[in-house]
Amino acid sequence: MANNYNGIVSVYKEKGFTSFDVVAKLRGIFGQKKIGHTGTLDPDAVGVLPICLGNGTKVVELLMDHDKEYVAELLLGMCTDTQDTTGEVVNKASETDLELLSEDRVKEAINSFIGDIEQIPPMYSALKVNGQKLCDLARKGVEVERKPRKITVHEIEVLEIELPVVKMRVHCSKGTYIRTLCNDIGEKLGVYGCMQSLERTRVGIFGKEEALTLPQIQSLKDEGKLGEIVRPVDGLFPDYPKMKVSEEALYRLENGNVLTTSELVGIEDYVNQNPDSKEQNTINVQTCVRVYRPDMTFAGIYKKHEDGLYKPEKMFL
């Protein structure tokens, strides 16, 4: 009988694959249909793509809300209809304008985009307008008005400048288009700009260092080690204290009912009862907690409300 995996596996998407290609390949590798990705990466982009398996698909939206980090190459001197070098050139800067660029001017322009800013999503994106993807409309030559969206660029670190190419690391909020950021930096400098390459190096707690390529995951399957790379769902919430329900309240938990403080047992009690356990006492007064069954299998996330009751936020039964 095939295993049914529940959790998250961090994939390093290689060039040429779409996010949907990765999901399709993993359905074959893991032998299960319930798999979802956590945000698209363009086919030419590479990098971290967390994939949710089984009941882990319930956290897809939570993962998509996380901050992300990228390493991108900005090519100054031209802009394209796709805002990256795969598109058709729309405008080019003169050689004179490019020669007037300095590293200081480039850095000053880049730094002006740090903070809360508004960004107009590109036409070549998966966003939908009236049920149609913008990219599908763009391929038909149709352009529609897009409203600016508020995003946050937490940090931009310039890694290397060899004009007209600038390599930079960007830490940003969800919904940020690095292609558009490159385009807008070029506009700010008056010489146009587009994205030459893109690598996503982090999504929330998932970093490049632990991400595996599809061939590496296939090799682990051949060795019977697939289970070793599936991160449990509760590992996504390391800051939430662990609590378990009492035996008497188990039926209420499994029906997704509200729980009282008296029905939850702190992890300190659990450690005292199980001295060999490596779990640490992390209970603090916090809003959300991870709730476990008496046998310490993960059941869901509960949120404490003003009335003192804990109410289910997301269940993983």
Task: Just list the catalytic residues.
Answer: 42
| φ, ψ for residue 239, nearest 5 deg | -85, -10
Cβ neighbours for 270, distance < 8 A, ≥ 6 positions apart: 242, 244, 277, 279, 296
Closest CA to 70 of 212, 183, 201, 184: 201
- 288-292 and 242-245 as β-strands: parallel, antiparallel, unpaired? parallel
Q: Which residues of 276-295 are buried (b: 16+ CB within 10 A; e: fewer)?
A: eeeeeeeeeeeebbbbbeee
Query: Looking at the chain, how many residues does it have?
Result: 317
Distance CA(198)–CA(84), nearest Å, equals 10
* Of 209, 177, 193, 187, the residue nearest 40 (C-alpha): 177
- Taking the C-alpha atoms of residue 36 and residue 27, their distance in angstroms, rounded to an integer, is 10
User: Phi first, then psi: what are they for 277, rounded to 5°?
Assistant: -70, 145
Q: Give phi and psi for 138, each to the nearest 5.
A: -60, -40
State the DSSP code for 12: E
Residue 172 burial by Cβ neighbours in a 10 Å radius (0-12, 13-18, 19+) = buried
How many CB atoms sit inside 10 A of residue 95's CB? 9
